Amino acid sequence: MRVFRASMVVLAVAVMACGGDGDGAETTTTEEAAEDSAGTVDFADMPQECIDALVGYLQAIEPAVEGVDFESTTGSELEAMGTELEALSEDYSTAIEDLDCPDPAGSDDEAFAAIIDLAEQEAPGTVGYLEWVQSFAAGFGDAETSGDCETDVSALRAIIDENSSMSDLTMTEVVQVGSLVASISTACSPERAEEFFAEADVAAFLESQ
């Protein structure tokens, strides 16, 4: 189930963005596998064994994610959490592959709402995590940039000057850095963008763990 898998892999993606040890090939494989699932159905009509697998997964990760303030959690803290969740996520992924679970019909937002409703009943300690997953994924498109080359260069420069490495950033800040990098890559001339990203401290920061 595509959006269910998204709730598992986004943490690994976040850790990778902070310079962690996430396996990008594994994430791609997971996303591609979602496209081969058994069609789509309304969440209310999802096979019970698929719902049971999701509930089991949420209850398994609940002790690790309950009470965590994801807005202020840094990349290094998420990396440690990601290690703890990795085995559980792999078990869940294997289970729903074996069950050939369909995708939920409708938009990702609608599917997330259904999952969160289920979590509130079966694993309430995961609700904050799921809400963060949803907002974090959406945040890549919502982070503020000016679209002006030098303005966004200055904004990214300020973040770099205030932090020693990417792992010191909260996930909200990681999203902002990613958006600024993308904006600089398109708003600046190729020469200016290459010049800025080649600066030793900029390169070291963006590659830091």
Tokens at residue 85, please? 């969740």
Higher pLDDT, 74 or 142: 74
Between 37 and 107, whose confidence is greater?
A: 107
pLDDT of 32 strictly over 90: no
Range 176-201 average pLDDT: 91
- 167 closest CA partner among 18, 10, 16: 18
Nearest residue to 68 (alpha-carbon basis) of 131, 5, 139: 131
Residue 143's pLDDT band, with cuts at 50, 70 and 90, is low
Judged against a pLDDT cut of 60, whether residue 33 lies above it is answered with no
Give which of 194, 183, 178 is closest to 149, Cα–Cα.
183
How far apart CA 21 and CA 63 sit, in angstroms, is: 23
Of the candidates 64, 53, 70, the residue with the CA atom closest to the CA atom of residue 1 = 53
Q: What is the pLDDT of residue 209?
A: 56
What was the pLDDT predicted at 110?
Answer: 81
What pLDDT, on a 0 to 100 scale, did the predictor assign at position 133? 76
The proportion of the chain whose per-residue pLDDT surpasses 90, expressed as a percent, equals 24
pLDDT of residue 31: 42
31-36 mean pLDDT? 41
Confidence of residue 137 (pLDDT cuts 50, 70, 90): low
Lowest mean pLDDT among 16-25, 72-81, 147-156, 174-183: 16-25
pLDDT on residue 161: 92
Report yes or no: 31 and 115 within 8 Å, Cβ to Cβ.
no
pLDDT digits (tens, 9 = 90+) for 68-124: 887 777 766 776 777 777 777 778 878 877 888 887 777 777 878 888 899 999 999
Domain boundaries, the chain: 2-142, 149-206
What does the pLDDT average to over 54-72? 87
